[in-house]
Amino acid sequence: MLNMTERKAYTQPTKFHKFYEKMKKLVADPKSIILTDHEVWVLVNSELDYEDQVSEVTFEKWKSPTSKKNVEANAQISDEDAAGFRQCLAVSRAKQKMALTGNMLDEDNKNQWGASWILERKYEDLKKQPMIALNSNPTIQISAGDKEAQKMIDQMINGEVIDIDHKEIEE
C-alpha cells in the first residue's frame, strides 16, 4: 500500500496531463471567453472521472509560475509541461480578446455592443474608469450694476424675501 506522499507522486502527473488536455479543448472554444478561471476549473473537472479531478488549490498552483514545487507531488511534471499549461491559458485569453475586439470593430457585425460589454467586464485593463466627482458646492459669481441691484443680491444670498415691483408689459 502506498503512503500519501507516494500516492500523490503516482497520481498527480496523470491528473495533470488529463486535466491539461481537457482544458486545452475547453479554452479553444471562443464561447469560453466569459469564463473565469474558477469556472474553467469547474468545467474541466466535470469532464473528468472523479479520481482524475483536481482541487482548486492544485489548479491555482499549476497556474502560478512562482509557486514552490512539491518535489514528491510534481516529480513527473516537466518544466516544459508546466510552462505549456500556463501559456495555454494566457494565449487562449489573448486570442479570445483579439476575436472580441475584432467583432467590436467590425462595422457589419450587429453584435458590437455585446463584444464591448464582455471585453469591459472580463478584462481589468479595459474597464470603464469611474467619473471624477466634481465639487458639489459650485460657486456662482453675480455682479451688480448699481447699488439697488447689489442690495437685491445681498438679500437673496442672506435668504431674505424680496418684494419686486413689477409692471405689466403691454404687447
**In the structure grid, which three cell numbers stand for residue 59, read together?**
489548479
Instruction: State percent of the chain over pLDDT 70.
Output: 77
Query: What is the arithmetic mean of pLDDT over 156-170?
Result: 76
Residues 47, 18: Cα–Cα separation, whole Å: 10
The pLDDT score that the predictor gives to residue 158 is 85
Residues 88, 21: Cα–Cα separation, whole Å: 10
| Torsion angle defined by CA atoms of residues 101, 105, 111 and 113, in that order, rounded to the nearest 10 degrees | 80
CA angle 21, 8, 12 (to 5 degrees): 5
User: Is the predicted pLDDT of residue 147 greater than 80, yes or no?
Assistant: yes
Residues 114, 93: Cα–Cα separation, whole Å: 17
pLDDT: is 139 or 1 the higher one? 139
Query: What is the arithmetic mean of pLDDT over 15-30?
Result: 91
pLDDT: is 71 or 78 the higher one? 78
Q: Summarize pLDDT for 80-112 with one digit per residue, the tens.
A: 888 889 999 889 888 888 887 777 777 787 777
CB 12 within 8 A of CB 77: yes
The pLDDT score that the predictor gives to residue 44 is 95
